[in-house]
Amino acid sequence: MVASVVEAQYDTLILSDLHLGAEMSRAREALRVLEETRYRRLILLGDIFADLNFGRLKKEHWKFLGFIRKLSNPKRGVEVVWVEGNHDHGLAQIMSHLVGVRVYQEYQWNYLGQRHIAVHGHQFDGFSVSNVQLSYWVGTLLYLQLQKWDSKNKILTRFLDRLNTRWLRLSLKVSAGALAFARRHQAQRIFCGHTHVAMHRNEEGVDYYNSGSWIDERPAYITIGEEGVQIHEYIERPDDRHSSEERSEADSEFAEFAGETGLSEDAEYEGVGR
């Protein structure tokens, strides 16, 4: 059942770095969270796609997008916000048509007297900003190929993802930049993704939260409500499967989705990645 204002448990739910199209994307589990949680606002905090080639999307990826499209219907009473990540770059107009969601570079809102900011976080990653093309060819395309070669449990690619985060010290860089950004904009809370590491940091009365990723063995998401901000780790279930379904299984799901949106079966868009 889709969340609605009447039965909302949380003001806002945030998830990021789903990387639809990647072998490691855990779209099935992310969709389960969205379906089973009640919220007034959903923020998709960037890097929802691995890259802009829709040909890589699988059945469960199309199901996730289909749910977002239905959720964005005003009759549902849920505000759906898409904050652009570096992997989503260039998709603003496409996503507005595809799932009926407005795309922001950053999003601000007030809740219980506090200003909140949601921004993906790559803006505070100097390497990503300075080496856009190199990051795309090496950090995105090569990484996607490695996922195909890796074992079923993606041990190597998950290790490389953690190593990359530590080598570049991304969590520290992004949190420091985000906290400074929040102070300049007089915000009490700021939320980011990008680093793939869920965390909370408080500095000079400002709270920084990172929503983690959905390509990790321990995916996470954030909720904001009257009880405060909580980082939730997704709990595995016996029927959870890795997203390595046969791509042919996506045909019927894609056909239904494409029929609703007028999307071409050969849809592929050029963009840049982290």
In the chain, what percentage of residues exceed pLDDT 90?
51
| pLDDT recorded at residue 8 | 72
273 found inside a domain: no
3 found inside a domain: no
219 found inside a domain: yes
Full domain range(s) for residue 199: 10-261
Q: How many domains does the chain have?
A: 1
179 found inside a domain: yes
**Least confident window among 24-33, 136-145, 167-176, 252-261:** 136-145
Q: Give pLDDT tens digits for 10-19.
A: 999 999 999 9
For the whole model, what pTM was predicted?
0.78
Compute the mean pLDDT over every residue in the chain, rounded to the nearest whole number. 79
| pLDDT recorded at residue 123 | 92
Cα angle 237, 243, 247; round to 5: 145
Across 120-141, average pLDDT: 59
Q: Binning pLDDT at 50, 70 and 90, where does residue 152 land? A: low
192 found inside a domain: yes
| pLDDT recorded at residue 245 | 47
The half-sphere exposure of 244 on its side-chain side, counting CA atoms within 13 A, is 12
270 found inside a domain: no
CATH of the domain at 67: 3.60.21.10
266 found inside a domain: no
269 found inside a domain: no
Q: Give pLDDT tens digits for 67-93.
A: 999 999 999 999 999 999 988 877 777
